[in-house]
Amino acid sequence: MDVLGTLPLSWRARLAGKMIIPVAAGMSGAAVFRVVSGRGIDHYLKIGTGTVADILKREIERTKWLATAGIRVPRILERFADENVVAVAMTALSGQTGETIERADWRSAVVAIARAFAHLHSLPLATCPFDERLDIRLARARELVRAGGIDPADFDERNAGIAPEHLYDRLAARLPLPEDCVVTHGDATLSNLILGDDGQIGFLDCSHCGRADRYVDLTLVVGELEDRLGPQARETFAAAYGGLPWDERKAEYYRDLYELF
């Protein structure tokens, strides 16, 4: 809660009298709050300081661009930035996160998710101003590893006991070329997907949106669906996505690369 003191006085005045509820930080590491007025959830507030501020700037820019492209994302209400702090107020998307999909009735949700990614991935690549190709992601991973920002205790079982430096070296030496670039979300976990009451899918935490191989997204979302629902979830997803022939070698590569973020 101390980070709220970094906001300008005008922001703090508007927050006075409202319920401010901390929620778990997302991939960016920003402090995230639900701001609730007497009418219910009003909006979400994110605050980033230091290096996290730069990531939050990216999220604001990319969320706004996705909105112009017709993708369902939160609406940016207000933003603030100075040398050390970035803050943004954004609307809440109505619905439930993808983590709420239940095994008893999952097919329609998986179909909706697959179609949402097919639509995102079909956006004209030349219109996307953000570059998230493999060389960019590997450079970012290298800096995180060198800075000691990767905890190997968080690695999947398949990478247990591997030092972050060794995992990075393995990835840098085994590039899955060529890249099949599309407009990607970049952090396509089920927690970043909102299943709307109207059956449409919304996207959260878009700081890594950009031009990249489609498996940056597919590896994460399909992997989580399989873990939660079983192998039939991949078949349902692939059919709704457009008959995708699954490339397990590429999926394993991007699964390992995600360990370094």
pLDDT in tens, 140-194: 999 999 999 999 999 999 999 999 999 999 999 998 778 999 999 999 999 999 9
CA–CA gap between residue 260 and residue 137 (Å, rounded): 9
Answer whether residue 95 shows pLDDT above 70: yes
Reduced to 3 states, what is the DSSP secondary structure of residue 97?
strand
Ordered DSSP codes for 142-198: HHHHHTT---GGGS-GGGTT--HHHHHHHHHHS--PSP-EEEE-S---GGGEEE-TT
Which pLDDT score is estimated for 27? 56
Which pLDDT score is estimated for 26? 55
User: Which candidate, 49, 48, 44, 50, places its Cα nearest to that of 20?
Assistant: 44
The token duo for 139 is 């450079």
Class of domain 96-258: alpha beta
User: Which candidate, 51, 49, 56, places its Cα nearest to that of 79?
Assistant: 56
Is residue 187 annotated as a catalytic residue, yes or no?
Answer: yes
Which pLDDT score is estimated for 104? 81
Which pLDDT score is estimated for 17? 82
| Every domain of the chain and the residues it spans | 2-90, 96-258
| CATH superfamily of this structure's domain 2-90 | Phosphorylase Kinase; domain 1 (3.30.200.20)
Which pLDDT score is estimated for 25? 53
Reduced to 3 states, what is the DSSP secondary structure of residue 200?
coil
Catalytic residue among 2, 151, 180, 187: 187
In the chain, beta strands by DSSP E? 19-23, 31-37, 40-49, 76-81, 85-90, 96-97, 181-184, 193-195, 201-203, 210-213
